[in-house]
């Protein structure tokens, strides 16, 4: 099994995210929270380095889409993907994400980055599962917002995740 990690750093006005191994639903929640915190601190340029990324799932790509859509909503900034191999480029453009962020096969070297991890105490398994389902739902909704034709691709996934969250959060 491929070891996966996400490393982050700041170089001037840009936030760098280096993905090693798999970009998946397992590390999308941490990336989403990190991105949100950096936007709150005023950063508007994000560089996603895929040089060591061996695969991305739809949740991970949706998390990137959500970050790009947030920058677009703010009216400033951009998300850039660098060192994107042909397979990753096909995945991203196949979902219409090349319309909301820049994709490059080359790029500059990332700055010194540190490992992105969870802060604070470990969450209970149920809370973590609910947060993961919420992250997955938000990511797939972002994919559909980025390119409406993705709705037909992810309709069943969206319905399943909504039902899963509804069952875990019964209305009182």
Q: Where are the domains of the chain?
A: 5-168
Which pTM value belongs to this model?
Answer: 0.78
CATH for the stretch 5-168: 3.30.750.24
Q: What is the pLDDT of residue 120?
A: 35
134-169 pLDDT, tens per residue?
899 999 999 999 999 999 999 999 998 888 887 755
Q: What is the pLDDT of residue 115?
A: 62
**pLDDT below 70 — which residues of the chain?**
1-2, 108-127, 168-172
Are 4 and 20 spatial neighbours (Cβ–Cβ below 8 Å)?
A: yes
Q: What is the pLDDT of residue 172?
A: 41
Indicate the burial class of 67 (C-beta count within 10 angstroms; 0-12, 13-18, 19 or more). buried
For 106, residues 6+ apart whose C-beta sits below 8 A from its C-beta are 82, 83
């Amino acid at each position: 099994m491929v070891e996966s990690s996400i490393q982050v750093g700041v170089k001037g006005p840009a936030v760098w995210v280096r993905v090693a191994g798999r970009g998946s639903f397992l590390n999308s929640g941490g990336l989403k929270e990190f991105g949100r915190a950096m936007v709150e601190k005023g950063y508007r340029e994000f560089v996603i380095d895929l040089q060591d990324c061996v695969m991305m799932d739809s949740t991970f790509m949706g998390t990137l889409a959500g970050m790009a859509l947030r920058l677009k909503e703010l009216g400033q900034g951009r998300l850039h993907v660098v060192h994107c191999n042909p397979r990753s480029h096909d995945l991203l453009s196949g979902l219409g994400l090349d319309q909301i962020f820049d994709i490059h096969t080359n790029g500059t070297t990332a700055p010194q980055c540190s490992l992105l991890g969870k802060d604070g105490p470990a969450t209970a398994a149920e809370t973590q599962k609910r947060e993961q389902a919420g992250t997955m739902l938000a990511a797939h909704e972002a994919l559909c917002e980025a390119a409406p034709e993705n709705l037909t691709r992810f309709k069943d996934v969206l319905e399943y995740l909504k039902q899963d969250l509804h069952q875990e959060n019964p209305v009182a």
